A and B are shown apart, each in its own frame.
Chain A
Amino acid sequence: MKKAAGFIKKNPSFCVFAVLALAVIAVAVFAPALATHDPYEAVLTNAVQPPSAEHWFGTDRMGRDLFSRVLYGARTSLTASLSLVCIIMVAGTLLGIVAGYFGGVLDAVIMRISDMMISFPGMVLAIAVAGILGANMTNAVIAIAIVSWTKYARLARSLVLKIRSRDYIAAARVTGSKTSHILWKYMLPNALPTILITGATDIGTMMLEIAGLSFLGFGAQSPTAEWGLMLNEGRAYMTASPWLMVFPGLAIFITVVVFNLLGDSLRDVLDPRNE
């Protein structure tokens, strides 16, 4: 308990943002309990109602309760963003470590593929991939993953290159340690803190990218409750019924800010200079 109090005292901003992030996650998890209506129940005669006591955030063009849809949207957006960050973090890190440790042809191949990927504007390539695969949430995650893993691969590779020629790695080799053991016990732990910080700060960015694809029609499809899609659906009513865009927009804004600041404060926590 004393330790926890000490940690909180030492890292107040991290604790605040961690609590806020947990609150966002809690909203997603407990959406069924918090929602006032079924987010998919449409009453066509109640379309585009302004915010009221009955519908706190108003209703959308199909007469669905916007508050409930925004809450359920947290589930879709968070699940997709966290899955995406996990995928690109694991895939990118593994490829980066392998490229950095083994070097040679393997390094050249992985890094050239990575170069090819970053030579295109990320969002444009993601749109092209999502367009080819077909518009749905899974394909949107795959599309963004394909263009986003390179950052982690480059990062992991540079970190591995930094320690590959250290004496303790050489010692591990001469004492007969297996390659897998060296990768797992020495390379990965050295790369992990930086990768984790990058991953944490990427959650917000990825959420924006997924919302962007859904907004453009390449991600979630109607009637899914997803913030980007809800923004698109409300776009036509922007001037007459602004609440259709304001509330999903606020949800994206708040969540992205919370996860970005959480990532920043996590960097401060893990920074050895703060010890």
Chain B
Amino acid sequence: MRTQWCKKAAAAVMAAVMTLSLAACGGSGNTSQGGDSSAADGTHLNFSCYNYSNSMDPITNVNSSWCFLRYGVGECLFRFDENVVVDYALCDAYETEDYITWTLHIREGVQFSNGNAVTASVVKASLERLYDAEANKTGNSTPSQYVTFSSMEADDAAGTVTLVCDSRTVNLPGILAYPWYGIVDTSVIDTEVIGTGPYYVTALEENSTIDLARNEYYWDGEVPYDTIRIFLTEDSSTKAMALKSGDVDLVENITTASDLAELEADDTYYVSTTAGVRLGNSYFNFNGVLGNDALRQAILYAIDDATMCDITVGGMYTAGCSVLPSSLSYGYDQLTDPFAYDLDKALETLDAAGIVDTDGDGYRELDGQRINLSYIAYTSRNLDEFAQAVAITLESIGIGCTVTVQDYDTALANQSAGNFDLITSNATTVPTGDPTGFLGNFYSGNSGTYGYYANDQYDALYEQLLTAADAGEQLELIIQLQQILIDDAATLVHGYYNSTFASRASVVSGADIAPIDYYWITTKIHPAA
């Protein structure tokens, strides 16, 4: 009996020791006031975000240029405000008479985070480096997509850069606000990427963390944090859990609806949501079976976008019918949608077009061939969930559809090669502050990588838009272009992505997401009082 009692006691002691050991291994879960040991003194922010690129050099690719701005490391000559209106940044004045020759005045007294002065010559060198990298294929960024220059001149005495465009470019300030045109210190670019943002990089561990510190030379007000650690986190739920545990103070874009709903319901967290400028859609490949008008129209009739936006992706998107978000002022209210959700009409359209199931296998045939759409999706911003919901709906009306979820680069390669019937997309519709560039995806000269859509009337109006300088005329053309795309069932619009920031309310203030998501870490985000 005594031996048995001793054994039990020993087991209990062992269990207690193990429990205490495990408890000692765990963290307190409350590191929000500067949990990182590197920030024992001063203000510190832990921020978690998806890793789009390990580079911050604007010439590397689109994502790297976005990271340059998003992490608060770099800035452009211009920037967008919360209404997506272009505003001055490193440039504080400009002149142009013909929209071809632009004279930009560089703000005086601005320094890079290493203390070097931002002069007109440095700005010119930075822009030249960007175009050289594209020409030499040393970078994947393609700035000539928006504007090309026949000459660039710098006058350091006057503090001006004179840019001569190859063609009339009405929206040059908006274009120069695009992250590709971020200004870097070219004198040190071979060793590090230095910008003029409120913070600079002190350490970078690829796919893991980025450490930032205050830029002592920042020109635009006080920089609130001494240090920031960015945790690069792929998984949305992980980001939400890190926020809840206190491991991080601020996260961007929680894309799991249930996690976001939990955060919104809890006063501990402040969730900032904005009707973004991103369109979630699926491109049709007009060179395949979806070149058939009735089939595309039936698909639009069959898809219940409102339910998908509100329930399937839990309100992460706002439903709509046009390629330009309803929150932007491009005449959404004046558009009519002839293919609004109506399942019966979808079936009628298919039957009337002779797209019926003749062999009784449950799937409809077109020109004697069973329809089996190849639908490529990638996981970013709930796109795979849309694809699956669309596929399930199409199967229910006898249209075979196989969803293949691929990584972003593979999907993009397949898109460029035209290896798809449907492919998901999530893109900023006003990358340079106006939608002209985005509407160009449907111009027959550019649409090769977007499903080969072609419409002569659309092309003519688009060419008119490129040269229009009057705002009223531009708006009228943009409305007409949108309506043509709707009438042609040119693309399957899912909705408009609502960007989010979630922060711990007791620790962080001012964490509001901007509609155009080039800017994450800004001086507006500061410690809570």
Complex interface: chain A residues within 8 A of B237 (CB): 235-236, 238
Say which one of A42-50, A109-117, A199-207 lies at the interface with B. A42-50
Any B CB within 8 A of the CB of A154: no
Question: What's the minimum C-beta distance from A161 to chain B, rounded to whole angstroms?
Answer: 44
- Could you tell me if B388 and A239 are in contact, using CB atoms closer than 8 angstroms? no
- Could you tell me if B258 and A239 are in contact, using CB atoms closer than 8 angstroms? yes
Complex interface: chain A residues within 8 A of B304 (CB): 44
CA distance A239 to B265 in the complex (A): 14
Question: What's the minimum C-beta distance from B399 to chain A, rounded to whole angstroms?
Answer: 14
* A236-B259 CB under 8 A given contacts A42-B389, A221-B404: yes
CA distance A14 to B203 in the complex (A): 60
CA distance A240 to B237 in the complex (A): 11
Q: In B287-340, which residues have CB < 8 Å from any A CB?
A: 304, 307-308, 311-312
Complex interface: chain A residues within 8 A of B397 (CB): none
CA distance A44 to B396 in the complex (A): 12
Any B CB within 8 A of the CB of A158: no
CA distance A62 to B395 in the complex (A): 13
* A44-B258 CB under 8 A given contacts A221-B405, A236-B236: no
Any B CB within 8 A of the CB of A217: yes
Q: In A222-275, which residues have CB < 8 Å from any B CB?
A: 222-223, 235-241
* Chain A residue nearest to B255 in the complex (CB): A236
Question: What's the minimum C-beta distance from A49 to chain B, rounded to whole angstroms?
Answer: 11
Q: In A1-53, which residues have CB < 8 Å from any B CB?
A: 40-42, 44-45, 47-48
- Could you tell me if A240 and B392 are in contact, using CB atoms closer than 8 angstroms? no
Contact of B312 among A44, A222, A236 (CB under 8 A): A44
Any B CB within 8 A of the CB of A75: no
Question: What's the minimum C-beta distance from A241 to chain B, rounded to whole angstroms?
Answer: 6
- Could you tell me if B312 and A241 are in contact, using CB atoms closer than 8 angstroms? no
- Could you tell me if B262 and A44 are in contact, using CB atoms closer than 8 angstroms? no
- Could you tell me if A239 and B259 are in contact, using CB atoms closer than 8 angstroms? yes
Contact of A223 among B241, B262, B308, B392 (CB under 8 A): B392
Complex interface: chain A residues within 8 A of B388 (CB): 62, 222-223
Complex interface: chain B residues within 8 A of A223 (CB): 388, 391-392
Complex interface: chain B residues within 8 A of A44 (CB): 304, 307-308, 311-312, 389, 392-393
Complex interface: chain A residues within 8 A of B392 (CB): 40, 42, 44, 62, 223
CA distance A40 to B261 in the complex (A): 27
Any A CB within 8 A of the CB of B256: yes
CA distance A45 to B311 in the complex (A): 7
Question: What's the minimum C-beta distance from B89 to chain A, rounded to whole angstroms?
Answer: 37
* Chain B residue nearest to A42 in the complex (CB): B392
- Could you tell me if A48 and B307 are in contact, using CB atoms closer than 8 angstroms? no
* A237-B307 CB under 8 A given contacts A61-B385, A221-B405: no
- Could you tell me if A240 and B312 are in contact, using CB atoms closer than 8 angstroms? no
- Could you tell me if B312 and A61 are in contact, using CB atoms closer than 8 angstroms? yes
CA distance A256 to B58 in the complex (A): 51
* A240-B389 CB under 8 A given contacts A44-B307, A61-B312, A221-B404: no
* Chain B residue nearest to A136 in the complex (CB): B404
Any A CB within 8 A of the CB of B403: yes
CA distance A222 to B390 in the complex (A): 12
* A240-B262 CB under 8 A given contacts A45-B307, A235-B237: yes
Complex interface: chain B residues within 8 A of A61 (CB): 312, 385
Complex interface: chain A residues within 8 A of B385 (CB): 61
Complex interface: chain B residues within 8 A of A62 (CB): 312, 388-389, 392
Complex interface: chain A residues within 8 A of B312 (CB): 44, 47, 61-62
Question: What's the minimum C-beta distance from A63 to chain B, rounded to whole angstroms?
Answer: 8
Question: What's the minimum C-beta distance from A215 to chain B, rounded to whole angstroms?
Answer: 13
CA distance A47 to B388 in the complex (A): 13
Question: What's the minimum C-beta distance from B394 to chain A, rounded to whole angstroms?
Answer: 11
- Could you tell me if A241 and B403 are in contact, using CB atoms closer than 8 angstroms? no
Question: What's the minimum C-beta distance from B312 to chain A, rounded to whole angstroms?
Answer: 6
- Could you tell me if A221 and B403 are in contact, using CB atoms closer than 8 angstroms? yes
CA distance A235 to B385 in the complex (A): 14
* A240-B258 CB under 8 A given contacts A44-B389, A45-B307, A62-B389: yes
- Could you tell me if B405 and A236 are in contact, using CB atoms closer than 8 angstroms? no
- Could you tell me if A47 and B403 are in contact, using CB atoms closer than 8 angstroms? no
Complex interface: chain B residues within 8 A of A221 (CB): 403-405
Contact of B405 among A45, A217, A237 (CB under 8 A): A217
- Could you tell me if A240 and B307 are in contact, using CB atoms closer than 8 angstroms? no
B411-422 vs A, CB cutoff 8 Å, 1 = contact: the mask equals 000000000000
Question: What's the minimum C-beta distance from B164 to chain A, rounded to whole angstroms?
Answer: 50
Question: What's the minimum C-beta distance from B350 to chain A, rounded to whole angstroms?
Answer: 19
* Chain A residue nearest to B404 in the complex (CB): A221
- Could you tell me if A240 and B391 are in contact, using CB atoms closer than 8 angstroms? no
* A237-B258 CB under 8 A given contacts A44-B312, A62-B312: yes
CA distance A217 to B384 in the complex (A): 12
- Could you tell me if A236 and B258 are in contact, using CB atoms closer than 8 angstroms? yes
- Could you tell me if A240 and B308 are in contact, using CB atoms closer than 8 angstroms? no
* A239-B311 CB under 8 A given contacts A217-B405, A223-B391: no
CA distance A98 to B392 in the complex (A): 49
Complex interface: chain A residues within 8 A of B395 (CB): 40
Question: What's the minimum C-beta distance from A223 to chain B, rounded to whole angstroms?
Answer: 6
Complex interface: chain B residues within 8 A of A40 (CB): 392, 395
Complex interface: chain A residues within 8 A of B262 (CB): 239-240
Complex interface: chain A residues within 8 A of B393 (CB): 42, 44
CA distance A62 to B304 in the complex (A): 13
Contact of A240 among B259, B396, B403, B405 (CB under 8 A): B259
Complex interface: chain A residues within 8 A of B261 (CB): 240
CA distance A62 to B312 in the complex (A): 7
Q: In B398-453, which residues have CB < 8 Å from any A CB?
A: 403-405
Complex interface: chain A residues within 8 A of B389 (CB): 42, 44, 62
A40-B395, A44-B307, A47-B312 known, 13 other contacts, Cβ within 8 Å: A44-B304, A44-B311, A44-B392, A62-B392, A223-B388, A223-B391, A236-B236, A237-B258, A238-B237, A239-B258, A239-B262, A240-B261, A241-B258
**What are 30 A-B interface contacts by the 8 Å CB criterion?**
A40-B395, A41-B396, A42-B389, A44-B307, A44-B312, A44-B392, A44-B393, A45-B311, A47-B311, A47-B312, A48-B258, A61-B312, A61-B385, A62-B388, A62-B389, A62-B392, A217-B405, A221-B403, A222-B405, A223-B388, A223-B391, A235-B237, A236-B237, A236-B256, A237-B256, A238-B237, A239-B241, A240-B259, A240-B262, A241-B258
Name the 6 nearest CB pairs between A and B, nearest first: A240-B258, A236-B256, A42-B392, A237-B258, A44-B307, A47-B311
